[in-house]
Structure 1
Amino acid sequence: MTGPYDEDAFRAFVLARTPALSRTAYLLTGDAHLAEDLVQTALFKAAKGWHRIEGDPEPYVRRILYTQNVSWWRQRRHVREHHLGGYDAAAATADTDLRLSLEEALARLTTKQRTVLVLRYFEDLTEVQTGAALGISAGTVKSTTRQALARLRALAPDLAEHVGDPR
């Protein structure tokens, strides 16, 4: 793909991959509006460097997504509480209850903790790959993962079977 900017290829990529990028961005941010901003920022940056991308552009764009999110949480350096709205808990099924419980618990993690968990367990990256994507050491990934899982266990004991036993 090296060479002049290929607008058609970029447009096709955006149309095909935005839903998947949006899901990941939502998991990273825990907020639909921030996720949308994150995807738009990543796509804008990718468009600027599109002529330099060789092969599959998705890893390049996902890396932008991760590093931009890290940049945002480094700037904020505080935990943001997100309130879930628009859900009818009385009509929720067991799966929906589980999803809501998980969303509420994830929203109460720090951005760094949530990002590490998303990369490790949703994106299925290794500790080394996660550290490289975030600009932190594999040891920091391990300790952050351990702390985040412990916090999830404490925040949502009903998720224990899904979070795993710490022993």
Structure 2
Amino acid sequence: MRDEAGFRDFVTARLAKLSGVAYLLVGDHHAAQDLVQSTLVKIARHWDRVSGVGEPEAYVRKALYHEFISSRRLSRRRELPTAEHRDRPALRDEADDAVRRLLMRQALAKLTAKQRAVIVLRFYDDLSEAGIAETLGCSVGTVKSQTHHALRRLRELAPELADLVQEQQEVRR
């Protein structure tokens, strides 16, 4: 790698954002760190070429999502089913955000890898449908259908999220 300083600068500037996205995808801090690390190791090997493209951040983000989906395919055989989520705990004013984050993490864990990636890209990274399609290497129609199916599945499997959103809107009124 000829531009090692450029790679270091890129990682320093974007590590927090990449780590946040990875955490939303995998739902575990340690696994998120592993995902970011494995992605950046692969990117470092080709940094000279990656930094030459118009938007290296988009390239790295795409690599992160592809690494996530690939790792999910490999780990599917090793995963053990867990018990269903517990009933929503009573909310305290200072705990609302923490409860929402926990419930969202549990809900995202119930989605397929591709559905989770679409939801995170759309609502966390705020990418357009075309941007998501480019990142995931699929059609805009696939993005739309995956988003539709993921949101429907979230409503079915995690109705407590809808309750929390309703409660939050009532408090703000």
TM category, shorter: 0.7 to 0.9
Of residues 116, 124, 127, the one that matches 1:125 is: 127
Unaligned runs of 5+ in 1: 84-88
Of residues 36, 43, 49, the one that matches 1:46 is: 43
How many Å apart are 1:16 and its aligned residue? 2.3
Separation (CA, whole Å) in 1 of partners of 2:16 and 2:5: 18
Question: Are the counterparts in 2 of residues 81 and 107 from structure 1 also a CA contact under 8 Å?
Answer: no
| Percent of aligned pairs with the same amino acid | 49
Alignment-derived partner of residue 59 in structure 2: 60
Separation (CA, whole Å) in 2 of partners of 1:139 and 1:75: 26
Question: Are the counterparts in 2 of residues 28 and 69 from structure 1 also a CA contact under 8 Å?
Answer: yes
Separation (CA, whole Å) in 2 of partners of 1:127 and 1:148: 14
Unaligned runs of 5+ in 2: 84-88, 167-173
Separation (CA, whole Å) in 1 of partners of 2:131 and 2:69: 15
Please give the per-residue CA displacement for 1:104-158, whole angstroms capped at 9, x wherever unaligned. Answer: 1111212221111001111112222212211222222111111111111122223
How many Å apart are 1:24 and its aligned residue? 0.7
Question: One-letter code of the match for 2:13?
Answer: A
How many Å apart are 1:56 and its aligned residue? 4.8
Q: Structure 1 length normalisation: TM-score?
A: 0.78
Please tell me the root mean square deviation across aligned C-alpha atoms, in Å: 2.7
How many Å apart are 1:70 and its aligned residue? 2.4
Of residues 16, 20, 36, the one that matches 2:17 is: 20
Question: Are the counterparts in 2 of residues 81 and 108 from structure 1 also a CA contact under 8 Å?
Answer: no
How many Å apart are 1:81 and its aligned residue? 5.7
